[in-house]
Every structure is written in structure tokens, then in C-alpha cells.
Amino acid sequence: MTAPRRNERSRRAILTAALELLTETGYPDLTVEAIAARAGVGKQTIYRWWRGKGAVILEAMVDSVPPNAVLPDTGDLRADLRTVIRATVAEFADPRLSATTRAITIETLSDEALAEQVRDQLLRPQLAAVKDRLRAGQATGQARDGIDLDLTVELLFGPIYHRWLLRNGPLTEGYADELVDLAMTAITP
């Protein structure tokens, strides 16, 4: 049982090149060939370790996300949700950051296996953190006991995805606040 003798330098070069090219050319025009060329790497080295450009981008995202997965708890549920929703809205509004999200989204729409990885490695931890905060809010009486936490987080994040996906309106801080307020109305005892 020997560890795979993988070249870390190449791995880093590939992930970096992929993210650079992604912002330069967009996902559909991103090619494995170009990533390999930019990274100074043989194509085979990419195909040896990843199933395609989608998997490369996913790993680049996972690599760049710190495993913090914990929400602030100031005692004020509404304020804390505002913090996280504002951050999320800002992320989707930023062309640079949302480029990678767009790329991954495209790929997951037709790659079931990749979709699972995204869900388990990126999405679930994030949502779990929010659910934890909501549970704490229930303990302090700031949220109703009966609510379905899964549904609640969807109530918070779903509208953002909807607006982003369908380009159906601006993604501003004011929008984030309004969204939190409306959601709070639904879950406050």
C-alpha cells in the first residue's frame, strides 16, 4: 500500500491555471488542453487524476474554501443570518467568484457523480452551519420549535439562487436584508 507518488507542484499548477483560464474565457471555452498548456503539464497528468475539467474546477474550489463551517453567534439570530446572507449575496454578485460557481453548476447539471461531491463537500457543510445557528436560535426562543430546518435554509438561500440563476433582479445588500426579514417573519414564534 504505497501512497500514489503524485507531483504536488503539478497539481497546484493545474488548479491555478484552471481558475485563471476560467475567469479569462468562461467555462464552455475552458479546455483541458489549455489548462495543461498554461500549467506546463501533459494532458495525461490531468486525466490521470481528474475525470475532466469539471472535477478540476471542483477541486480548485474545495481547495480554496477554508473548512471553517461555523457561523458567528452574537445572540441575535436576525443579525447573524444577515451576516451570512449578505456574504452569500455578495459572493454571487461578484463576477469573479460567481464564475467558478457558474462553472460548477453547469457541470453538476449533467454529471450526477460530480453533483454529489459538490453537495457533500461544499453545500452541506455550509447549510449545516446555518442549521446549527437556527437550532441555537430555537433554544433561545428566537425561532419557532416546529419549523423544518432543511426547508428554512432553503427559504434563505433558494431565493438567492433563483435570482442569480435566472438573472431576475439585482443582488444587493438591501436585497439580502429584505430576504432575511421576510424569512424571519416566517420562523419567529
Which residues sit at the interface with DNA, rule CB under 7 A?
2-7, 10-11, 13, 29, 31-34, 36, 39-45, 47-49, 52-53
C-beta of 11 vs 92, nearer to a second copy: 92
Q: Which does 67 bind (CB under 5 to 8 A by kind): DNA, a second copy, none?
A: none
Q: What is the DSSP letter of 43?
A: H
Residue closer to DNA (CB basis): 24 or 73: 24
Contact window for a second copy (CB under 8 A) among 40-48, 59-67, 75-83, 118-126: 118-126
| Contact letters for a second copy, residues 10-39 (x by CB under 8 A) | ----------------xxx-----------
Whole-angstrom Cα distance, residue 81 to residue 44? Answer: 45
Contact partners, residue 181, CB within 8 Å, separation at least 6: 78
Residue 48 binding partner per list a second copy, DNA, none, with a CB distance cut-off of 5 to 8 Å that depends on partner kind: DNA
Q: Give the sign of the dihedral formed by CA 46, CA 49, CA 52, CA 54.
A: negative
Candidates 1-9, 16-24, 130-138, 163-171; binding stretch for a second copy (CB under 8 A): 163-171
106 makes contact with a second copy (CB under 8 A)? yes
The site partner of 145 among a second copy, DNA, none (C-beta below 5 to 8 Å per kind) is none
CA 84 to CA 67: how far, in whole Å?
15
